[in-house]
Amino acid sequence: MPLKDVRYITGVSSFDVPHRLTDVLVIGSGAAGLRCAIGAATRAKVLVVTKKGVEESLTLLAQGGIASPISSDDSVEFHIKDTIETGCGLCDERTVRMIIKEGVHAVEELIKWGVNFDKSSDGSYALASEGGHSKPRVLRSSGDATGREIERVLSERARNHPNITILENTFAIDLLTQNNRCVGAILFSSKGGKEIVWARATVLATGGAGQIYRETTNSEIASGDGIAMAYRAGAKLRDLEFVQFHPTALYVAGAIRALISEAVRGEGAYLINRFGERFMLRYHPKAELAPRDVVSRAILSDMKRTHDTQVYLTLSHLNKETHENRVKKRFPGLWRLCAAFDIDLSRDPVPVRPAAHYFIGGIKTDIFGRTSIKGLFAAGETASTALHGANRLASNSLLESLVMGKRTAVSVLKYLRKCPHLAPKTISIPPPKWNERILVRDVEDSLRSLMWWQVGIERNATELEDALKRLSFWCRYVLRNNFDTPDGWRLQNMLTVAYLVTESALMRQESRGVHYRTDFPQGDDKKWRCHIEVSRRESRSRKEK
Ligand code: FAD
Ligand code: SIN
């Protein structure tokens, strides 16, 4: 079944399922969703739904920290310049300026609300250096647990707010629209079954889609649900070909692909191959601290050359005192994780390889979080504001989620002033016709392998065309099927996003930022300094200047 023919993946009738009314429905409880909910709750009733526990999000996993130019020898202008340089010609300068400027206040607000950022011995905030930043400007908490601290403070605040109701373990399946206006969503929980929420405004804050790749630093929640829902509802999507791969995820059979922060290389770690060679010296003058896409490709190439499935991160050349005083204190989470697999970080090489990490593209929004559908807003990793261009500067995404969460709340409240109160509507959506027994996990594993091998760090037309054919084949029977549990809907979302990523990657016939085509290894500013936009309503992808 062609993607563009699918409007709903489930059926529902307002006569059969319970419904509720709210002013604002926020889908997702990471930094973007919670910050938006807290802002909107100042003048509206807000319902937050989240598919697992409140804190389960990519926000929770963030280690490196949050970038903000707060030191006296740094400036907003330096941070803007670094972001634009990293973005390889596709950042929207107005968005970059706004987010970085307002990001300074977002960080001050977090501190006021109780986020504990680490301090140096002189009492000033400890600031780390990361690739692409010309100054140390990355704030962190408890060494490598920044996301956990931010999520703790925001979720506590949201839970205690009288205008916010939180529904955990509740999966949003589809958006409801009428005349290009979003009026709510269909939800599912294992306890209560399906439910309809009529909302005057709906905000998608569903995070990334790293789960479409076999190797990823993202947790299970990152299946691109918001992007797929928005596509089915007819919203415009943008920049889907730009998937950022992180060079160093732990690669131990049986272990999750935990991120090993770039900050570990910032503290002096080397990358070596099975012969003990520090191979990055051959690839870039900045060696281990070269841009992420360069390091990821170099690792891939060295793995091929040495016939290995991994490379290794080593800190054994640092002296004992550095280990005790810097590395162990700075990365307590990583130290514990390695110890669980009997790896002593001070002595043993840590097996690593690249993994899909961050979804640069997403639902196209303006700087007020508005999508192309009235009453539908998006913020955080699921949205595309064009802050990151074709490559994201490390630690800029928590910043974006917080700033855009807050701005979206303001624009939702403005929209509510003009939007009529909703009366419950009757609605009847027929279920998909087919009830075949599909082995969800089997298709999912095949999809994730296909994306990793054919739409991964290096791409070319032959592999992309073949991938598109296979994805079309799977779409034909999976998208028309009537699933009744979240794992089936999740698979339908993953397939939708994977197809659109592949289609966009095939279309962009050049290499730019994180998108590398071996058949078009150079950038082509004349033809391709533009965004690729996709939408269900338009029959083909369209280049947007
Ligand atoms: P998330 O925090 O992912 O929240 C999404 C929410 O949506 C979750 O609550 C999820 O359950 C919910 N959801 C999704 N689908 C549905 C559905 N169908 N129904 C209901 N709920 C749904 N960025 C930095 O700036 N600095 C870092 O140091 C950093 N480190 C990172 C480390 C790792 C390992 C990873 C994976 C990412 C890191 N990032 C970092 C990126 C950053 O964490 C994310 O981009 C950011 O947290 C995204 O926030 P968000 O609110 O948009 O989404
Ligand atoms: C890292 O700590 O290396 C990840 C930071 C990020 O993705 O922004």
Structure confidence by residue, pLDDT tens digits, 78-93: 999 999 999 999 999 9
In angstroms, rounded to a whole number, what is the distance separating the alpha carbons of residues 266 and 217? 19
Q: What are the residue ranges spanned by the domains of the chain?
A: 1-242+360-420+431-545, 245-356
Q: How far is the CA of 400 from the centre of ligand 2 (A)?
A: 14
Query: Which CATH code is given to the segment(s) 1-242+360-420+431-545?
Result: 3.50.50.60
Residues 6+ apart with CB under 8 A from 506: 461, 464, 465, 468
pLDDT at 542: 63
In angstroms, rounded to a whole number, what is the distance separating the alpha carbons of residues 242 and 526? 19
Q: Across-strand partners of 352?
A: 250, 311
pLDDT at 545: 62
- CB count within 10 Å of CB 218 equals 24
Q: How far is the CA of 32 from the centre of ligand 1 (A)?
A: 8
Residues 6+ apart with CB under 8 A from 354: 215, 245, 246, 247, 248, 249, 295, 296, 299, 300, 457
- Among residues 137, 265, 292, 392, the one annotated as catalytic is 292
Please report how many Cα atoms fall inside a 13 Å half-sphere around the Cα of residue 325, on the Cβ side: 7
Give residue 337's Cα distance to chain centre: 23
In angstroms, rounded to a whole number, what is the distance separating the alpha carbons of residues 468 and 457? 17
Q: Across-strand partners of 245?
A: 356
Asked if residue 33 has its Cβ within 6 Å of ligand 1, the reply is yes
pLDDT at 88: 96
CB 53 within 8 A of CB 151: no
Residues 6+ apart with CB under 8 A from 160: none
Asked if residue 299 has its Cβ within 6 Å of ligand 2, the reply is no
Residue whose CB lies within 8 A of the most ligand 1 atoms, among 26, 27, 59, 357, for a mutation test = 59
Arch. (CATH architecture) of 245-356: Alpha-Beta Complex (3.90)
Q: What is the pTM of this model?
A: 0.97
Instruction: Divide the 545 residues of the chain into consecutive groups of 10 and give the mean pLDDT of each group.
Output: 90 93 98 98 98 97 94 96 96 98 97 96 90 91 93 98 98 95 96 96 98 97 98 97 97 89 88 96 92 93 95 88 74 89 90 97 98 98 98 96 98 94 84 92 98 98 98 96 97 98 98 97 96 85 64
Q: Taking Cα atoms as reference points, which of 99, 431, 366 lies closest to residue 235?
A: 366
CB 34 within 8 A of CB 56: no
pLDDT at 346: 84
Q: Between the CA of residue 139 and those of 108, 118, 152, 492, what are the distances in Å? A: 12, 7, 16, 38
Give the number of the ligand closest to the Cα of residue 269. Answer: 2
- The angle, 0 to 180 degrees and rounded to 10, between the axes of the packed helices 440-454 and 461-478 is 160
Can you spell out the DSSP letters for 124-192?
A: SBP-B--TT-SS--EE-STTT-HHHHHHHHHHHHHHT-TTEEEE-SEEEEEEEEETTEEEEEEEEETTT
Residue whose CB lies within 8 A of the most ligand 2 atoms, among 130, 150, 216, 358, for a mutation test = 130
Q: Between the CA of residue 42 and those of 36, 372, 406, 410, 413, what are the distances in Å? A: 10, 25, 12, 10, 9
Give the number of the ligand closest to the Cα of residue 132. Answer: 2
CB 144 within 8 A of CB 333: yes
DSSP character for 381? G
pLDDT at 411: 98
Query: Residue written as tokens 């690669």?
Result: 251
CB 379 within 8 A of CB 203: yes
Q: How far is the CA of 360 from the centre of ligand 2 (A)?
A: 14
Active-site residue, 305 included: no
Q: How far is the CA of 320 from the centre of ligand 1 (A)?
A: 36
Asked if residue 248 has its Cβ within 6 Å of ligand 2, the reply is no
Q: Taking Cα atoms as reference points, which of 145, 73, 66 lies closest to residue 103?
A: 66
Sign of CA dihedral 377, 381, 387, 390: negative
Edge-first strand listing for the sheet containing 243-250:
243-250, 350-359, 311-314, 270-272
Asked if residue 63 has its Cβ within 6 Å of ligand 1, the reply is yes
Give the whole-number percent of the chain exceeding pLDDT 90.
84
DSSP character for 421? P
